[in-house]
Structure 1
């Protein structure tokens, strides 16, 4: 693989910095890195491969000569700059939700649908939602074996999914609570410290949140299963990093827990940790910083025929964002 000129838009954010770290750790062949951000963050110094670089304010000329542009700067920013980057000749890998359901933009998890990159008619490839990624990495190998009919997902999502301000809010709110002091959470509608918020994204008229619809629509698109039934609830929890998911999956044919474990032991990007009697199961504190998605508590579901229940944990900044984006860049 020859060296590539790579632009990273949103280079100073939580995910942007994780993208830089991932590019470096995976020895992606970068001939030149162009760190980009808003005018407010321009001038920030970052380190990449031992070199100090100055972050530039994004403008219409930022992507000239770039082979790949990795975006993690929000949907509005992506809508504005992704077409400009693509018109400059770069292939855009976008981490926002802006392009995910566009019919001319593939939504890719490299372990599942790498060939969909040929469908990138606009020069843009979308990186899926963090919670969707870790669910489908585990579910797709089981789907190939037994045919998924229905999945129900309850998520337990860390504050890192909201950004650096949310990390500060959890830290500040926790310290205030321990001291018996009041704290105003400026990030969430209620204090996140020592709390659970079943509220991620806006609600529609039925009371279904934006994050819950992402799980429905993105799972179907990635796995090419338009008839798949998906339901669940997404919850923000007071941990700093990694998402947990309680998943019930119903199949066309019976799938024993033992068979599912064997399938998943051979699945790319998946680690099975499943010995609950010895307290062995995935934990966010152990998964933070890891690339693989972990799964455990695989068992027969007690309410549905041909169904399994399981517990999935993944690092939302790694496989849920930065790693998956870099893996897409590797496909290119």
Structure 2
């Protein structure tokens, strides 16, 4: 007996939700139905998916009933509360929050790297990594398979949209307020122009500025984004002792995360071999012709699926280390696409 599974998307009206609905409309239709769910304040809105208008339902137990796969694009507390409810109702949950990523009974999956992890999910939940990890992992995972990764030093340059729609809106307002100011303008002038009420969820003005902080406070001066990038990389690659140091920075870009990466390997590396690996790896595009102005930037990658890799160099003082620059659309590739791919793998488990 065949069964086309029913999908529910919780958090459909958010920034990542818009990208996810686009992806669902572009991919092969494997679903018997798609239900859109959000907070009560968004209930009643109408959104288009696969050419059909869908009315958004408020999140409650009835909204989750009858769904085979439930995809959560929600804050940690919402996922932590409602994902077990969806599982109890018979669904497999794919969660994009941090609520379950490090739970030993929840697989953390990047389909290009560890699809086998999906087979065992004792809690009925599959987690998807954060957007910075998803920018990093397709490229670094491919290089690890060839050379044996031993150490990472990463700096992120994260778009405002990674902190949500309110952060993007705050950046847009700030840019309008400081329009005409020069880059050398005193910090106090920018802060006065923006005001405390114009920061939104950001800890400091982002227009004409960079903010060396992303996430929540963690012990010893680290942020949750920095600790999460380390722990998620270790879990996905199966390297619990991997040395990872990360510094996460918010930059005045609306969409598109970028990373600089220093990766040290067990084996000696060459740029030619690294180019070959990156150019042929799923989920990665190599764009590395700096003499011709060829390297990825957020402007180039918005709206695309892969992680883009460029500026590939062997470290001048270490034949086992590579330097590279990575860039990806944090809403599409960094959140929506990975979760859809996980959900589609789960959907293939149903008899057809």
* TM over 0.5, shorter chain: yes
Q: 1:314 aligns with which of 318, 321, 328?
A: 328
Task: Look up the match of 2:264.
Answer: 250
Q: 1:223 aligns with which of 225, 237, 240?
A: 237
Task: Look up the match of 1:146.
Answer: 147
Give the secondary structure class of the aligned counterpart of 1:30: coil
CA-CA distance at 1:120 after TM superposition: 1.0
Give the number of equivalent residue pairs: 332
Task: Look up the match of 2:300.
Answer: 286
1:2/1:29 contact within 8 Å kept: no
CA deviation vs aligned residue, 1:238-291 (integer Å, no higher than 9, x gap) = 001010000000000101011100011110011000111111011111100000
CA-CA distance at 1:224 after TM superposition: 0.4
CA distance in 2, matches of 1:186, 1:316: 20
1:252/1:306 contact within 8 Å kept: yes
CA-CA distance at 1:303 after TM superposition: 4.3
2:25/2:51 contact within 8 Å kept: no
Task: Look up the match of 2:279.
Answer: 265
Give the secondary structure class of the aligned counterpart of 2:62: coil
CA-CA distance at 1:208 after TM superposition: 0.9
CA distance in 2, matches of 1:162, 1:311: 22
CA-CA distance at 1:292 after TM superposition: 1.0
Q: 1:182 aligns with which of 193, 202, 219?
A: 193
Task: Look up the match of 2:185.
Answer: none
1:251/1:306 contact within 8 Å kept: yes
Task: Look up the match of 1:125.
Answer: 126
CA deviation vs aligned residue, 1:201-252 (integer Å, no higher than 9, x gap) = 1233311111000111000000101111100200000001010000000000
| Structure 1 pair 231–52 and aligned structure 2 pair: CA distance change class (3 A) | same
Give the secondary structure class of the aligned counterpart of 2:282: coil
Q: TM-score, normalised by structure 2?
A: 0.92
2:24/2:50 contact within 8 Å kept: no
CA-CA distance at 1:318 after TM superposition: 1.3
CA distance in 2, matches of 1:28, 1:11: 18
CA distance in 1, matches of 2:231, 2:216: 16
Give the secondary structure class of the aligned counterpart of 1:285: helix
Aligned-CA RMSD value? 1.3
CA distance in 1, matches of 2:234, 2:343: 23
2:135/2:258 contact within 8 Å kept: no
CA distance in 2, matches of 1:28, 1:127: 21
CA-CA distance at 1:305 after TM superposition: 4.5
Task: Look up the match of 2:114.
Answer: 113
CA distance in 1, matches of 2:65, 2:318: 54
User: Map of 1:1-332 to 2, 5 A cutoff?
Assistant: 3-178=4-179, 182-183=193-194, 184-332=198-346
1:5/1:66 contact within 8 Å kept: yes
Unmatched runs of 5 consecutive residues or more in structure 1 = none
CA distance in 2, matches of 1:140, 1:276: 24
Unmatched runs of 5 consecutive residues or more in structure 2 = 182-191, 347-352
CA distance in 1, matches of 2:321, 2:264: 4
CA distance in 1, matches of 2:276, 2:333: 22
Give the secondary structure class of the aligned counterpart of 1:61: helix
- Bigger Cα displacement from structure 2, 21-30 vs 276-285: 21-30
Give the secondary structure class of the aligned counterpart of 1:178: coil
